[in-house]
A and B are shown apart, each in its own frame.
Chain A
Amino acid sequence: QVQLVQSGAEARKPGASVKVSCKVSGDSFREISWHWVRQTAAKGLEWMGGFDPTDGLITYAQKFRGRVILTEDSSTDTVSMELTSLRNEDTAAYYCMIGMGRTWGQGTLVTVSS
């Protein structure tokens, strides 16, 4: 049974960056698709980007391209999402998920406020 455990809540000021991590246990994340999704009351669920094992590539949503960096660390079985140039509207719950939603992390609340 795959489990995803995310890092804790973060608070940032506008213009700053935040990095959220997601530790994968119970499966090899190089063999499964993994993705980052965020949720707000205003916009609902938005896919930010993800990894496709069939081509080994990370793809980013156009909306976040240039501002989000997705990485993986096989030594710690961790995938991460870094979002830069934060704005108030980036305040959201951020989730990692695998296998097209088969398993989700517990979510990380990121609050952006001056």
Chain B
Amino acid sequence: DIQMTQSPSAVSASVGDRVTITCRASQGISNSVAWFQQKPGKVPQRLIYASSSLQSGVPSRFSGSGSGTEFVLTISSLQPGDSATYFCLQHNTFPLTFGGGTKVEIK
């Protein structure tokens, strides 16, 4: 199985800060990564697909990059409504596997 190691597990940042979250795959997975945001009690919402493509309706402050084994989600200017847990998903190979999640808190 492909392991997705996500870091950090939590981050506390101020409004306007740049936040980066990384997922490292245990083997190369091309660009088969999606990023999700999940707020407490809510359904995950896809932000990014194919590593760097922005899901329709998602603010442009969210961006994704990477290929192979390292993938990054960047929030360019953190907003109050961005407080949530973010996680990655690799879909290159079955079984699909998720990162462990990053809890983003607003200071």
Q: A106 touching B43 by the CB < 8 A rule?
A: yes
* Chain B, 64-107, CB within 8 A of any chain A CB: 87, 89, 91, 94-98, 100-101
11 inter-chain pairs at a CB distance below 8 angstroms, sorted by A residue, are A35-B96, A44-B101, A45-B87, A45-B98, A47-B96, A52-B94, A95-B44, A100-B96, A102-B55, A105-B43, A107-B43
Q: A100 touching B34 by the CB < 8 A rule?
A: yes
Q: How large is the interface on B (under 10, 10 to 19, 20 to 34, 35 or more residues)?
A: 10 to 19
If A44-B101, A62-B95 touch, does A100 touch B43 (CB 8 Å cutoff)?
no
Q: B96 touching A44 by the CB < 8 A rule?
A: no
Q: Is A26 an interface residue (CB 8 A)?
A: no
Write the residues of chain B forming the contact surface with A, with a CB cutoff of 8 angstroms: 1, 34, 36, 43-44, 46, 49, 55, 87, 89, 91, 94-98, 100-101
For residue A50, which residues in chain B have a CB less than 8 angstroms away from its CB? 94, 96
For residue B91, which residues in chain A have a CB less than 8 angstroms away from its CB? 100-101
Given contacts A35-B96, A59-B95, A106-B43, 18 further A-B contacts (CB under 8 A): A37-B96, A37-B98, A44-B87, A44-B100, A45-B98, A45-B101, A47-B96, A47-B97, A47-B98, A62-B1, A100-B49, A100-B89, A100-B96, A101-B36, A101-B49, A101-B91, A102-B49, A104-B43
For residue A2, which residues in chain B have a CB less than 8 angstroms away from its CB? none
- Secondary structure of the B contact surface, majority rule: loop
Write the residues of chain A forming the contact surface with B, with a CB cutoff of 8 angstroms: 35, 37, 44-47, 50, 52, 59, 61-62, 95, 100-102, 104-107
